[in-house]
Structure 1
Amino acid sequence: MSSVNLAADRTSSDGNTSIDVPEAQGETGRVGTGSGLDLLRAMAANEILSPPAMALLGIEFVSIRDGGATLRREPGDYLYNPVGPAHGSAVAALLDLALGSAIQSALPAGRTYTTLDTRISYLRPLTAASGTLTAVAQTLDIGERRAVAEAHLTDADGQACATATMTGLVVEKPHEVSPEKPDRTWDVSDWFKIS
């Protein structure tokens, strides 16, 4: 498994939740300087910080390739909705990160995307017994201003569980990005830069 694992979360006395993220190795100055593929490969290798949501949700990179990405997670019973199976948002988060990674992996240096639309079709309920969920995403079209990707989600037995598509608006990467190498303890205000 990847070195990006479910991190311990803590709630402080002031009500803020922080997440301990594994220490990254290697260079930290690569954010924003390489292609999307370079950025994601560095995240997958734990050379630079992955999005904190991945650690919080227990989502891991399996592989990154030009125009594609494979991610996985376990559908533990802590994700169940009030009537039983894993909440749809837990599945949606995995698909969203896989689709976004596929799009970002196809973009050149200086470009990123913002989501315009995501559509998900849930094909079967997921429980802890479903085992590891794997989302395989691939870009369908990358243009100057628009990108489209699709993903397929399977359970540990290889059964189809969900499909999804994403349309993204391709934009210039902002100069100010999330912290590259903070003290490795994230607070929500660090990510969103809330004062």
Structure 2
Amino acid sequence: MASREETLAAWRQQEQQVRARLAPAGVSSLDQLKAGSGMEFLQRIWDGLLPSVPIGETLDFIPVEGEPGRIVFQGTPDRRHYNPLGSVHGGYFCTLLDSAVGCAVHSMLPQGMGYTTLELKVNLVRALTDKSGPVRAEGRVIQVGKQVGIAEGRIVDVDGRLYAHATTTCLVFALP
């Protein structure tokens, strides 16, 4: 089992490698979205062939791992993300988890299909601060059908401490 320092170093190295591949933030076209499966679309973003996602730039988080049905985002919360009470705003948790669970659903979709979040249920377990260090939100699919996708997610730190968990229900639909 890796030590905390080894895990932290591996997470930071992986983040640097991914950041080096990402293209500047922007929005992909509908034609680019429809050009392949959900996983292929996500992979083209991660390979820098399509623009990276603007919300990731805004909140400073990126995808670090992905396979069909499982997507992981990593971010390091800092004081820019604070609420007036002196800890990271709940919107940071929600956005990070919505990205992980939504992309997990998207990764399972065939070409020509899209999704949107219908419901996101988030439980905040402990506060994040600028001292928390990098955290990861892992989304995992529970079920994806013709009209509905369901996934769950967790935010953890390098020590495996749980900060939040979520479930989502997504509407699956044919792209125009």
Whether the TM-score (by the shorter chain) exceeds 0.5 is: yes
Partner of residue 51, structure 2:
49
Aligned mates of 2:42, 2:63 — CA distance in 1? 9
- 1:163 partner letter: H
Alignment deviations for residues 127-157 of structure 1 (CA, whole Å, 9 cap, x no partner):
0111101001110001111000000110232
Partner of residue 87, structure 1:
89
* SS of equivalent to 2:131: helix
Aligned mate of 2:149, from 137, 143, 147? 147
Unaligned runs of 5+ in 2: 1-14
Aligned mates of 2:109, 2:43 — CA distance in 1? 13
Count, aligned residues: 156
- Give 4+ residue runs of structure 1 displaced > 4 Å after superposition: none
State, as a whole percentage, how many aligned pairs show the same letter. 32
Shift of residue 50 of structure 1? 2.4
User: Matches of residues 94-133 of structure 1 in structure 2 within 5 Å?
Assistant: 94-133=96-135
Aligned mates of 1:73, 1:32 — CA distance in 2? 28
Aligned mates of 1:56, 1:23 — CA distance in 2? 10
Unaligned runs of 5+ in 1: 6-20, 175-195
Aligned mates of 1:88, 1:4 — CA distance in 2? 29
User: Matches of residues 161-180 of structure 1 in structure 2 within 5 Å?
Assistant: 161-174=163-176
Shift of residue 22 of structure 1? 2.3
Partner of residue 3, structure 1:
19
Shift of residue 31 of structure 1? 3.2
Q: 1:62 to 1:170 in 2, by over 3 A?
A: same
- State the superposition RMSD in angstroms: 2.0
Which deviates further from its counterpart, 30-39 or 143-152?
30-39
Is this contact kept in 1: 2:24–2:52, CA < 8 A? no
Alignment deviations for residues 41-81 of structure 1 (CA, whole Å, 9 cap, x no partner):
11111111122111111110111101110001111011111
> Given the two structures, how large is their TM-score scaled by the length of structure 1?
0.75
Partner of residue 34, structure 2:
32
* SS of equivalent to 1:53: helix
Higher radius of gyration, 1 or 2: 1
Is this contact kept in 2: 1:67–1:102, CA < 8 A? yes
Is this contact kept in 1: 2:122–2:167, CA < 8 A? yes
Aligned mates of 2:44, 2:117 — CA distance in 1? 22
Aligned mates of 2:149, 2:25 — CA distance in 1? 32
